[in-house]
Amino acid sequence: FPVSVVLPAGGTGERTGLQTPKQFCTFLGRPLISYTIQAFESIPWIQSIVVAVAKENMDLMTDIIQRFKHRKVRAVPGGSTRHRSICNGVLALGEEERPAVGRPKVVIIHDAVRPFVEEDFLYKIAMAAKEQGAAGAIRPLVSTVIATTSEGYLDHSLERAKYRASEMPQGFTYDVISQAYQRCSESDFEFGTECLHLALQYCGTNAKLIEGPPTLWKVTYKRDLAAAESIIKETLS
Ligand code: C5P
């Protein structure tokens, strides 16, 4: 069944405190996003990849696509929030112009800043998405989650064993994810972070959750860049 990928890469990387958004930071001569693209492009059952990037980085992205010969990739403008970037990517999949590439049955959504994703886990997500309509990666929590009062005191804490961190990749049938974005509200676009939640709320599709490997970790802070670099060096040497 045809599987396509949306990589939201429209962020400006504020939390790293660097000028360059983290997805465009270079390791061994190649930007981080190119490693993530490569992880998907090398999988034969993935037909196409759409990358959503901020307008100011569009030329840079076009250059990366050409320089590293990413043949399955197309860049589209990102949006002001992560949901808007993903939505633009999903819409672009519905407007595919290449005749050899049909509308996908399943869409995998993955952050551009999680380059170490592996084929066997992507396959689990794609299969579960095809069967259930939606699927997502989860990981055990590393810290306990607490709610605070507006004055900065403890309100309540959650029982850690009961909760999981929602990670990427997530997978959806094209019908579920495109309908979820058509039906959701402006405030979902502005404040929401969870695609799985939109699928449940607007399509009644409850996601299958699958525990993923630690390598799904997201490059978020400056220190993560050093860790990413050493993994890239290790896996390439
Ligand atoms: O900020 P955070 O690390 O959660 O971002 C996760 C992913 O969402 C990144 O790949 C980032 O580029 C993307 N994003 C986006 N459009 C935005 C904000 C973030 O595609 N407006």
Does 9 contact ligand 1 (Cβ within 6 A)? Answer: yes
For residue 153, report the distance from its CA to the centre of ligand 1, in Å.
30
Contact status, residue 212 vs residue 118, Cβ threshold 8 Å: no
In the numeric block, the tokens 């405190």 are attached to 17
In this structure, what token pair is assigned to residue 201? 């709320």
Does 92 contact ligand 1 (Cβ within 6 A)? Answer: no
Output the pLDDT for position 8: 96
Cβ-based neighbours of 136, under 8 Å, separated by 6 or more: 125, 166, 167, 168, 169, 170, 171, 195, 196, 207, 208, 209, 210
Tens-level pLDDT at each residue, the chain (237 residues): 999 999 999 987 666 666 789 999 999 999 999 999 999 999 999 999 999 999 999 999 999 999 999 999 999 999 999 999 999 999 999 887 777 777 899 999 999 999 999 999 999 999 999 999 999 999 999 999 999 999 999 999 999 999 999 999 999 999 999 999 999 999 999 987 799 999 999 999 999 999 999 999 999 888 999 999 999 999 866
Whole-number Å distance between alpha carbons of 133 and 128 = 7
73 - beta bridge partners? 49
Conformation bin of residue 29: beta by default, left when phi > 0, alpha when psi is -120 to 50? left
For residue 170, report the distance from its CA to the centre of ligand 1, in Å.
15
Output the pLDDT for position 144: 95
User: In terms of Cα–Cα distance, which of 194, 182, 178 is closest to 90?
Assistant: 178
User: In terms of Cα–Cα distance, which of 197, 192, 193, 199 is closest to 177?
Assistant: 199
157 - beta bridge partners? 146
Classify residue 169 by burial, with Cβ atoms within 10 Å: 0-12, 13-18, 19+: buried
In this structure, what token pair is assigned to residue 219? 């490059």
Does 212 contact ligand 1 (Cβ within 6 A)? Answer: no
Which ligand 1 atom sits nearest the alpha carbon of residue 53? 20
Amino acid at 11: G
For residue 8, report the distance from its CA to the centre of ligand 1, in Å.
6
Pairing state between β 3-9 and 46-53? parallel
For residue 190, report the distance from its CA to the centre of ligand 1, in Å.
13
The complex scores an ipTM of: 0.95
Alpha helices by DSSP H, the chain: 32-41, 58-67, 82-94, 119-132, 174-183, 186-191, 195-203, 222-236
Whole-number Å distance between alpha carbons of 13 and 174 = 28
Does 10 contact ligand 1 (Cβ within 6 A)? Answer: yes
Output the pLDDT for position 16: 60
Q: What is the CATH number of the domain that holds 111?
A: 3.90.550.10
For residue 173, report the distance from its CA to the centre of ligand 1, in Å.
22
Q: What total number of domains does the chain contain? A: 1
Residue 56 half-sphere exposure toward CB, CA atoms < 13 A: 7
Number of neighbouring beta carbons within 10 Å of residue 232: 17
Does 11 contact ligand 1 (Cβ within 6 A)? Answer: yes
Classify residue 100 by burial, with Cβ atoms within 10 Å: 0-12, 13-18, 19+: exposed
- The whole domain housing 36 covers 3-236
